[in-house]
Structure 1
Amino acid sequence: MTVAIALSSVLSALVLVLALVLPSLSSPTVPFGVRVPAQRAADPTVVRQTRIYRWRVLGGGILAAGIGVVMFSVTGEPLLLPMSVLLLVGVWYGCFFLANHEIRAAKAAGGWYEGLRQGIAVDTELRTDPPRFPWLWLAPALVIVVATVVIGLIRYPSIPETFAVHYDANGVPDRMAAKSVATAFSLVFVQVGLTALLAGIAAAVFRGRPDLDPARPAASARWYRRYISQSAKALLGLAAMIDLALLGSSLLMWTGTVTSWAPLVVVLPILTAVVVAVVVLARNNRERPEGEPETGLTHRDDDRYWRGGLFYLNREDHALLVPRRFGLGWTLNLGNPKSAILLAGVVAFIGLMVTLRFGT
C-alpha cells in the first residue's frame, strides 16, 4: 500500500513539474502552440498567459492530488490513486487550450504579422546526407530481450502448471493462468513489440520534417541535426529500460515471488528512463540556433494547420512527422493518409499485446 502511494505521488509530482516548465522549454516563437514573430515572443499577452497558465496548473495539480487522496481514503483502493495523475493531465491541457485561445485572439487583434517578410527554410541534405542512426544505442534493448528469452527457456521447465501472470498494487497475485509458451513468454512478446515500435519511431524521426528558423537557416539546421540524434538515442534508451522492467516482471512471474515492492520492479526503470529522456531533450530543446547573421525573414504564419496548437492537419504537407508545437518530440500529420494507417497499426498492436497478456 505504501509503495503504491509513493509511486503515485512521484508520478504526480513529475507530471506537475513537467507541466510547469514546458512553456520555458518550447520554442519562444510558438508560445502555447501559437506561431508568433520573434519580436512578439515577450509580448505582454504571452508573458501574462504564461503566468496565468502556471498558476492554474499549480492550483489544478493540488486539487487533483486532493481528489485522489479523498478517493483513496473512502475506498481504500490504491489503483484509484493514479486517477489524480489523469485529472492533472486533463487540467494541464485545459490550461494550455485557454492560453492558446487568448494568445491567438491577441495576435489577430494586434496584427502581429502585418508588414513582416515570411519565409521557410529547408535543409535538403537531410535526404542526401542524413545523420547516422545510432545503432549502438539499440544494442542494450536487444541484449535485454535476448537475455529474457534465455532466462525464460531455462526457467520454463520449473514453472508450475498454473502460475500468476499479474500482480495488484500490493504485489499480490490477482490473475492466474495455465502454463503455456504464450502465457509464460507473454511479456517477451511485449518486449519485442515495444522495442520494434520505439526503434521504428526513432528511425522515423530522421525523416520527419524539420521546423527550421528562416532567420538563421544554417545554424538552425545544425542544431536540428544534433536534436534528432539526441532524440533517437533517448527513445532507444527508453526502450532498453522498458525491456529491463519487463524482464524484472517476468522474473517475478516465473519465480512466483510475492512482495510489496513488486511494482517498483516495473515502474522504477521506466520512470528513471522517462526522467532522463525528458532532461536530455529539454536541454537540447532550449539551445537555440546562434552564430549566424539574421536574414530578416520570420516563420510563416501557419496556425491554420494546427488545431488548438496541438494537432497538425495539412494535406498538402507530405511529411508524416512534424515537431510538436508545445512540449518535446514530434507529432503526426493527421492530414497524411499514412498517419491513419500508423495509428491503426499501433491500436492493433496494443490490442494484440493486451490479448496475449490478459486474454488467458
Structure 2
Amino acid sequence: MIWPVWLRLALIAFIAAAFGSAPALARPTLPFGVRIPAGRTGEAVITLVRRRYNRGIAAGAVVACAVVLTGWTTRIDLVIAGLVVAYSLFGSLAHRSIATAKRDGDWYAGTRQAVATDTSLRSDPVRPQWILLAPAVALAVVTAVIGLVKSMANFSTVLAQVLLVVLVPLPAIAISRARPEIDAARPSGSASRYREYLHGVLSLLLVSAGCANATLLVVSLQLWGLVETTVPVTIVAYLPLLAAFIAWIGFSVRSGDAGHRLSPTADEPENRYEQRDDDRHWYAAGMVYLNRNDPALLVHRRVGTYWTLNLGHPIAWLVLAAVAVAGVLAGFGVVNLPIKGG
C-alpha cells in the first residue's frame, strides 16, 4: 500500500513533534534523562544541548520530507525508521553531553541527597476506578451476542476484546503499586502531584480499553459482512482510538513527565535536600532500569510518561519471556490476530 504524499508528510511531522516536545515535557531536573540538582537546571550547557537537539530534529524532518517529495522512495516505513533512529541518536548525544558536564563539573558537590516516600500511598493508595472498565466489558458482550445471533464462525475480534478486558487491569494494578516519584526537595507537593497524575493515568488506561473495544466492534461487523467496508465506516471505526490518542496527548502535555506540571494542593518551601537517583542503574538515556538491590518491579522512566520494568527484578524477566512467547506464537500463526476478510 502506497500512502498519499500528504499523509506521509503528516506522519513525519508527527514524529518530529513527538521527539521535539519530549525535552519540554521532561522534569527540569532530568534533562535528556540525566539527573541533576535543582540549582543546575539553568546551566549554559543544557541550553546549548537543547538548541542543538532542536536543530537536529528540524534538519531530520526537512530531509525526510525532501525524500518523500522527490519520490526517492515510496517506503514510508523506511523513512520513519531512519528518522526514529536519527532522533534517538540525537537524544543519546544530548544525554551524553549533559552527563559529561555533570561529571566534569561535579554538580552534586556540597549537596545533601535524600530519598522521600509517601507512606499514605500504601495506607490509602490510588485505586483504579474499575467502573471505567464497564464500557469495554459491555462492548465485548454486545459483539459476542451479535456474533452468536448471526451464527458467525470467526470470533477472533471478540477474543481480542476479551483479552483487553482481562489484560488491561494487570498494568493498572501494577502501576498503582509502582514506586512513586517523590521529590526529596519538595516531598509534600510532589506527592500530591503524583497522586493526581497516577489517577489520570489509571483512568485513561481503563477508558482506552473501552475505546479499543468500540473499534473492534465495528471491525467485527465489517469482518462478518454485516456492514460494508467503506471509507466512512472505517473512519467511524477508528474514531474511538483517535479520541483516546488525543486524550493521552492532552494529558501528557498538561501533566508533564511524572506529573511535575500539575499544581500541588498546598505551597511548600524547598528544603536543602536533592533527590537521590544513581545514574549507574539507568541505561539507554534513562529508558532502561536495572538495579538488583531495588525491590520495585516497576519504576517511572526518566524519559516519557510511562513506567518501565526493573530488569534487576526476577519477575521482570518472566514478564518479558511471556511477551516474547506470545509474539512468537502470533508470528507462527498459533495465535490468530483479527484480520479483515477472515
Residue in 1 aligned with 2:30? 30
Separation in 1 of the partners of 2:58 and 2:191?
Answer: 36
Separation in 2 of the partners of 1:187 and 1:272?
Answer: 20
Instruction: Please state if 1:152 is matched with 2:152.
Output: no
Distance 1:353 1:241, change over 3 A: farther
Instruction: Please state if 1:320 is matched with 2:297.
Output: yes
**Aligned residue among 254, 275, 287 for 2:262:** 287
Number of residue pairs matched by the alignment: 330
Q: Secondary structure at the match of 1:229?
A: helix
Q: Deviations over 1:333-354 (max 9, x none)?
A: 1111111111222233344556
Q: What are the equivalent positions in structure 2 for 1:161-240 lying under 5 Å apart? A: 180=153, 184-240=154-210
Native 8 Å contact 2:53 2:90 kept in 1: yes
Q: Secondary structure at the match of 1:356?
A: coil
Q: Deviations over 1:182-238 (max 9, x none)?
A: xx1112212222343332112211111012110111111111111111011111122
Percent of pairs identical after alignment? Answer: 38
Residue in 1 aligned with 2:55? 55
Separation in 2 of the partners of 1:267 and 1:287?
Answer: 31
Instruction: Please state if 1:245 is matched with 2:212.
Output: no
Distance 1:267 1:19, change over 3 A: farther
Separation in 2 of the partners of 1:104 and 1:266?
Answer: 46
Q: What are the equivalent positions in structure 2 for 1:68-147 lying under 5 Å apart? A: 68=68, 80-147=75-142
**CA shift for structure 1 position 25:** 0.8
**Aligned residue among 306, 310, 317 for 1:333:** 310
Q: What are the equivalent positions in structure 2 for 1:266-281 lying under 5 Å apart? A: 267-281=238-252
Residue in 2 aligned with 1:43? 43
Q: Deviations over 1:248-298 (max 9, x none)?
A: 221111117343556545554323312211211331222265611222100
User: What is the TM-score when the length of structure 2 is the normalising length?
Assistant: 0.87
1:348 alignment partner AA: V
2:336 alignment partner AA: L
Native 8 Å contact 2:157 2:338 kept in 1: no
CA RMSD of aligned residues (A): 2.6
Native 8 Å contact 2:289 2:310 kept in 1: yes
Q: Which runs of 5+ in 1 are unaligned?
A: 158-179
Separation in 2 of the partners of 1:191 and 1:82?
Answer: 28
Distance 1:92 1:148, change over 3 A: farther
Distance 1:74 1:14, change over 3 A: closer
Residue in 1 aligned with 2:224? 254
Q: Deviations over 1:27-57 (max 9, x none)?
A: 1111000000011112111111112111211
Distance 1:298 1:74, change over 3 A: closer
User: What is the TM-score when the length of structure 1 is the normalising length?
Assistant: 0.83
**CA shift for structure 1 position 156:** 2.9
